[in-house]
Amino acid sequence: MKENAYLKRRRVGINFNEAQQAEICLWAPNAESVEAALASGSLVSLSRSADGYWKATTDLLQPNDQYKFKLNGKDGLPDPASLAQPNGVHEASMAVDLQAFEWTDTEWQNPALNDYIIYEIHTGTFSAKGTFDGIAQHLDHLIELGVNAIEIMPVAQFPGDRNWGYDGVFPFAVQQSYGGAAKLQELVNTCHDKGIAVILDVVYNHVGPEGNYFAEFGPYFTDKYHTPWGQAVNFDDADCDGVRDYFIENVLMWFRDFHIDALRMDAVHAIKDLSAQHILQAIRLQVDALMEITGRKHYLIVECDLNDPRFLDAPEKNGFGMDSQWIDEFHHALRITAGEPGTGYYADFQGIRHLEKAYRDAYVYDGQYSEHRKKNFGRSADGQPGSKFIVFSQNHDQVGNRMLGERSSTLYSFEMQKVLAGAVMISPYLPMLFMGEEYGETNPFLYFVSHTDAELNKLVREGRKAEFAAFHAEGEAPDPDVLETFQQSKLQWDLLDKPEHQVMFNYYKELIALRKAHPALSNGDRSRITAMSYPDKNTLVVKRWEPRQQIVCILNFSKEKQAVPAEDSIHNWELLLCSADEKWGGPCTDDGACQSVNKLIIQPESILIYTRKDA
């Protein structure tokens, strides 16, 4: 395809033109003949073009009609660019007119990335309904909380109706059990109406195993590389151009046709590409071109564990130009500081000293030797603003990849949970919450699937058991493919009616409101932060400032009262928050701290946030 040819409308799969004719386009470079087999029994022959695409325009196919593709006269297969799989991953695709939805968000402005307060959601377990409509029912709760961006875990069609979403096999098709394409468009439209941005999690590093017919159509995969989850996607081997176009098309579709505000691309460290222009660079440039046309702002966020700022550097600096990335290292250092055992990948982290470094440097490992990786690892992120990094105390991976899926609410005391939340909100990075943490959800978030292949389910069970041999190994791993595992992972919204959970919710509201109200907390300026740890006290002092304001945060992760140096009289400071205050369910009836001989006394497992009155 020519550069920019696909900016204004989707080109692959089935799409409808202004005359409501179906325009069919399939990439199948090795096929000798291609026909679209319609549910009516009709066959539409496609003509081959020089670049391996097969095309036709027909009146025989209408929106909601089902079809398959017959290659070389063989049995029909679902469309790799299908927009809907109403009967599952093995059956016929359904034509969808993406332009039929009537948008009302013309006035919507995507907030500046630095202002994002992110809330991660799994559609199936977030609500009783387990659908996009179920998410919409709880948006007012998120607005009250202070969230202005939701991140939805992958919705690409997967086998069955229960899955985290990372086993998707139709990247363009919206999961039918969630509501399909029109309901996702409706949810985004509603979010924008309520002032909430929408981030969508997408997977470009692999394709799930069941219902994966890609290899029948063309060289979508390569044996040059391998991933932990299956064959590597062919981004740089022979005949890769059609594959690269396919995934660029997918990015543009979410932004252009679904009005998604940002994409979070899963595990991009597993995307192998030695092309002169890395696929992420190509995506960056095409998204920039799309924004020029639409006038809308979109962000590209990645999950990457390489500690390599090249992913964040601008393309003119030979970087990939990503707008932000998840950093697990902040989470790992925070959890070890809070008492998590140093097993598995936590073994590399030294608790509060590394947490101090995470506040200052984003990457904990930026060139040092990693015992877990058995090599020197990482590179400095100096010069990258705070908005380039997303931090959290919980997320789907860090909860769900525990054997028993325990949340912080069952691992830590009520007081420590408040410290963890505060640690995230005072950082110079973008904060992210995992659904339910704001009220102390106690149900686990377990790993679940609903493959229709019994042998595949067996392999998943065995794989999970092996994964936990040396990490989070307590107990027996729940069976991922039974309905109960999924049901146990649903949020219990009625917990909000109970006093302790309501206190936690109000505490989170206060933290978020403080971050928004005080520029020294929200500015994302990494040159205006210091962090000093006291390892013998397991206590940390974080200072952030603006020209007219200074914020001082003291975090005590120990189970004892601790004394830290006070720079000047506490009477010159204004207390903004004490997590140990009785109104937050804490043990204190005063401000939770006192001063003695230039020392500040802080309660066990608590956080204090002050601002300088005379700053």
Residue list, annotated binding site for substrate: 264-269, 328-332, 396-401
Buried-state track 68-77, b at ≥16 Cβ within 10 A, e below 16: bbbbeeeebb
d(CA 155, CA 164): 9
Distance CA 217, CA 195 (A): 42
602: β partners: 562, 593
- For tokens 């979508």, name the residue: 220
Which positions ≥6 away from 416 have C-beta within 8 Å?
338, 339, 408, 557, 605
Q: Which residues are annotated as a binding site?
A: 264-269, 328-332, 396-401
Phi, psi of 238 (to 5 degrees): -55, 140
Cα-based distances in Å from 344 to 306, 330, 401: 17, 16, 12
Q: Which residues pair with 94 in a beta bridge?
A: 66
Q: What is the DSSP letter of 176?
A: G
Distance CA 158, CA 410 (A): 31
**Cβ–Cβ contacts within 10 Å for residue 500, how many?**
13
Sequence length of the chain is 615
- Name the β-bridge partners of 53: 27
266 is catalytic: yes
Residue identified by tokens 């996702």 is 184
Residues 6+ apart with CB under 8 A from 534: 352, 540, 541, 562, 564
> Given 303, 308, 340, 348, which residue is catalytic?
303
**SS3 label, residue 411:** helix
Instruction: Give the list of residues 6+ apart from residue 482 with CB closer than 8 angstroms, or none.
Output: none
DSSP string, 341-374: ---GGGGG--THHHHHHHHHHS-S-SSSEETTTT
Identity of residue 117: I
Of all helices (H) and strands (E), which one includes residue 594? strand 593-596
Residue 593 CA to residue 603 CA, distance in Å, equals 7
Active-site residue, from 65, 201, 257, 266:
266
Query: Could you tell me if residue 321 is left (phi over 0), alpha (psi between -120 and 50 degrees) or otherwise beta?
Result: left
Helix (H/G/I), strand (E/B), else coil: 138: coil
Stretch (H or E) spanning 417 = helix 414-425
Nearest to 168 by CA among 217, 216, 125, 206: 206
d(CA 11, CA 8): 9
Q: Which residues are the active-site residues?
A: 266, 303
